[in-house]
Structures are given as structure tokens and as C-alpha cells.
Amino acid sequence: MDIDPLSAPTSRANDAKPSPAAVQQTQTTSIAPVESTRHPVSASTQAVTAKGANFLQISADCTRLRINYSKAVRTANDGIKIHCPDVETFRSLNKYLVDFKVQFHTYALEEERKLKAVIRGIPTDFPVDEIQVDLCGQGFPVHSVHRLCRRDGSPLWLVLDVLPRTEEAKNIFNNLNKVCGLSSIRVEAPHKKGGPVQCHRCQLYGHAAANCHADPRCLKCLVPHCTRECSRTRESGEKPSCVNCLQQHRPTIGMTENP
């Protein structure tokens, strides 16, 4: 991903009030090239990784805006990792980076992480809206329900439920016996995929698209756009191009070296 390394935020935001320390845990923010993260971030650590940012300008703006991070260290990817003492400081830094259009990715705070449950044995003709209404009627605070499909798009007898991470929501694994009157169902946690997670926005490894603010990179070609906007298809006969190694394959397969 190429951007002007001198493109830095300018001092235009209004001064903010000091942020009180509201949480005992340490949050982490990183300013660095958007590269892979080999190890997942622990629940007590957060990170933001930005590319092409002028850290001197960011540091000066943080001082002016009273975004009081505790320390900044260089990472193996020749970037800068900023540690924040509390969640409020972490949120303030995130907002600053978004407001000044700095490319970065981050990780969801523990309290923002959702609980996911897979229900097996749900016929494909059961509408997900009706499933959600039924689950909510049984006392489970379901945010959304999604039908799982095969690679070819054909639906499976599986639905994914997204809930808040609360004790009440966790009861779905032990207390759910039927859905829409159907009792032959089973509830389980989603299976974890092997290897590092890949972002579907920038196509790099170690973070998810939901928390990525980098420029989009196509999964099929080297043009900087979202994959869904790409005109390159199997019918067109054009070979895909990997944005990570520039070889003729998708970034999700055929990599000789994964992060």
C-alpha cells in the first residue's frame, strides 16, 4: 500500500479535556506500516497500526489534545507502537486518527467483542428474521442471525447468532432446546480457523476488516478498490494478482510465506 509518507494530520482539532483513567488494564496503540501481526492481541492489550503517518506530528497533536499515552516504542515492522494507560485514552487516540484520515487498523475492546453461537439443524427455508424473533422471545438478546453457506453460495443447515458478551447471552449454549418449534438442534461455538486471520479490506494478516481503516485493496487485482467492485472474474479469463507478493494468485491461497 503506497501513500505519501509526509502526509500527516495538521493541527486543526479543538483542544480536548484531559481523559481520566477509568480502567485498570493497559491499552496499546501502534503507529506503524500496516503489516502482519503474528500473535493475537491479548484481552488486556489493544493496538492501532497506521501506515505513512508522520509520528512527530501525531505525537505533537496528542500532546496538544491531551491524549496522554504512556509510551511509544518501535516495532519489528519499522513502526511505532503507542501504549495507552486506559480505555478512554485509547478511544481518544482512535477518534483522532479517524478524524485526520490516518490509515490504521485496531482491535475491538474486550467489552465490545460479540458472542457468537452456531445453531446446527436449522432448515434452509427458515427465514433468519423469524429465527431472531423466536430467540429474542425466548430471552436471548440476539443482535443478528446469519445463514451460513458453502463456498458456492448454497445455504447450509447452520445459522450464526451474534449476541452481546453477557452472562445472559452465554446461556444460549446450555439452555436453548428448540428454535421456531424445532427441537432437533444443537448449539456450539464457531470453529476457529487455523492460521492468522486475514483482513478482507487491506488483505493483510493479523486483524479484521471491522476495525481496519486502511485503504481497500482488491483480492483479485492490484487496483486499490474493494473486491466487490472488481470487474475481474473467472469468465474474463484474467489471472488474479496477489497484493502481498505480486504473484498470480489470490492473497488467501498460494502464499509461500504466510505471516
**pLDDT per residue as tens digits for the range 196-228:** 788 888 888 888 888 888 888 887 676 777 777
pLDDT of residue 238: 66
At 105, the pLDDT band (50, 70, 90 cuts) reads: confident
User: How many degrees, rounded to 5, is the angle at CA 34 between CA 90 and CA 258?
Assistant: 125
Residue 199 lies in a domain: no
pLDDT of residue 60: 93
Q: Are 34 and 49 in contact (CB under 8 A)?
A: yes
**Residue 186 clears pLDDT 90, i.e. is over it:** yes
Tell me, yes or no, whether 137 and 154 share the same domain.
yes
Higher pLDDT, 252 or 57: 57
Instruction: Please give the tally of structural domains in the chain.
Output: 3
End residue of a domain, out of 90, 110, 130: 110
Residue 47 lies in a domain: yes
Tell me, yes or no, whether 32 and 83 share the same domain.
yes
Residue 213 lies in a domain: no
pLDDT of residue 5: 34
- Phi-psi region for residue 67, left (φ > 0), alpha (ψ -120 to 50) or beta? beta
Q: Give the CATH number, domain containing residue 33.
A: 3.30.70
Residue 197 lies in a domain: no
- Least-confidence region, from 19-33, 47-61, 242-256: 19-33
- Least-confidence region, from 43-52, 100-109, 137-146, 223-232: 43-52
At 235, the pLDDT band (50, 70, 90 cuts) reads: low
Tell me how far CA of residue 193 lies from CA of 79, 250, 257, in angstroms. Answer: 28, 18, 18
**CA–CA separation, 241 vs 34, rounded Å?**
19
